[in-house]
Amino acid sequence: MNNPTELRGQIKQMLVENLMLQISAEEIGDDEPLFGPGGLGLDSVDALQIAVALEKNYRLKLSDVEVARKMLQTVNTIAAAIQAHQTPPQ
Amino acid sequence: MNRRIILITGANGALGRATAQTFLDESPGNFVWLGVNRRREHAETLAAKNPDRCRVISLDVTRPDAWKSAVAEIVAAHERLDVLVNNAGTHDDALLAQMKWESWHGVMAVNLEGVFHGCQAVLPVMISQRNGRIINLASLSALLAPPGQTNYAAAKAGVVALTQSLAKEVARIGITVNTVCPGYLDTEALAGLDADAKKRALAQIPMRRFGRPEEVAAAIRFLACAGAGYITGSTLKIDGGIF
């Protein structure tokens, strides 16, 4: 299980590297919207790349579009999804 | 040494084999997977001649699960897949007024939906690599749409459009997608024509000869090479000058 702060840092680094963002990982806010105006301004092709990276790095598969939309809102929502995926069921 | 992993569908046919041979000749580091469905004897012969660099893989292009397992096997072996050549194709000509739905659907399933399934299967790998080359085989029929080929021409025109749309989607990820449109090739497809039909076909070709599979394979290899990295969404006619 990842430390939450460390996990958020990994996610931001993954976004910068996979999407070739022209900003540093530290410049991305935990609750900053990833898509649309007022945030990072990512688009559907970026979402596709994030989905592939999440499956490759965390074995987290985004099979449902609605679930993906909710999950990919911010770094925090992605981190929560990864943690929920990694937590063994009780 | 250049080392690329290439998957060619419809690899039992003359064009598939010529394409495979071209990639094998390109670099001793290349590894070619020969996707085959019902017939595989020629592909098996080619693989037997190149046991360390060439392997036959069962792949019914109409089945997403077949694509999934084929790509998984390739990635398990090499941890990458650099080039996909969607070459599998079929035709079942008839005038539309008499065409059975099975003829329409069968041609669509292989020629158009097969390309859709193939692209969808390899994209996660290529996106992850941030690199890839997809070459889709269409046909001059996509552009000229001869009578008796509503199913084939529509499917191949669909491949051209699919290619252009997908090329825009993945351009920034380092993946190129292009279409090759062969004209009359001296392959098994042409063997089905009678002498008169061949004569009429030849009369349409400014070069007055049929194309060789190797001539199309050379274009496919070019579109897959590093030097073609800025070419995407293009449609390359290889037809001896018909237009």
A47-84 pLDDT per residue, tens: 999 999 999 999 998 878 888 889 999 999 999 999 99
Residue B1 pLDDT greater than 70, yes or no: no
At B98 the three-state DSSP class reads: helix
Interface membership of A17 toward B (CB under 8 Å): no
pTM of the model: 0.91
| Domain spans in chain B, listed from the N-terminal domain onward | 5-238
C-alpha–C-alpha distance, residues B129 and B144, integer Å: 37
Q: Which two tokens stand for residue B224?
A: 């897959």
Spatial neighbors of B239 by CB under 8 A, at least 6 apart, are B140, B181, B182, B183, B184, B205, B211
* Distance between A21 CA and the closest CA of chain B, angstroms: 12
Between positions 43 and 72 of A, the ones with CB within 8 A of B are: 45, 48-49, 52-53, 55-56
The answer to whether the CB atoms of A56 and B128 lie below 8 A apart is: yes
For A45, the closest of B124, B130, B169 (CB atoms) is B169
Pairing of strands B5-8, B83-86: parallel
Tell me which chain A residues have a C-beta less than 8 angstroms from the C-beta of B127: 48-49, 52
Q: Which long-range contacts (CB under 8 A, 24 or more apart) does B187-194 make?
A: B187/B13, B187/B14, B187/B15, B187/B213, B188/B13, B188/B14, B189/B91
| Residue B35: pLDDT over 60 | yes
Question: Residue B114 — very low, low, confident or very high, per pLDDT cuts 50/70/90?
Answer: very high
- Kindly indicate whether the domain formed by B5-238 is annotated with CATH number 3.40.50.720: yes
The two three-digit tokens of residue B177, written as one number: 């997608």
Chain A residue with CA closest to B130: the answer is A18
The residue among B216, B199, B195, B197 whose CA lies nearest residue B208 is B199
Task: Work out the pLDDT band at A89, boundaries 50, 70, 90.
Answer: low
Backbone angles phi and psi of A3, in degrees to 5? -65, 135
Which is the CATH superfamily of the domain at A4-85?
ACP-like (1.10.1200.10)
Which are the catalytic amino acids of B? 152
Given a cut of 80, is residue B98 above it in pLDDT? Answer: yes
A and B: number of Cβ contacts within 8 A: 15
Q: Write the residue in B124, B128, B172 that is nearest to A45 by C-beta.
A: B172
Sequence spans of domains, chain A? 4-85
- Which H/E stretch holds residue B170? helix B150-170
Within 8 A of B130 by CB-CB distance, chain A residues are 18
pLDDT band at residue A90 using 50, 70 and 90 as cut-offs = low
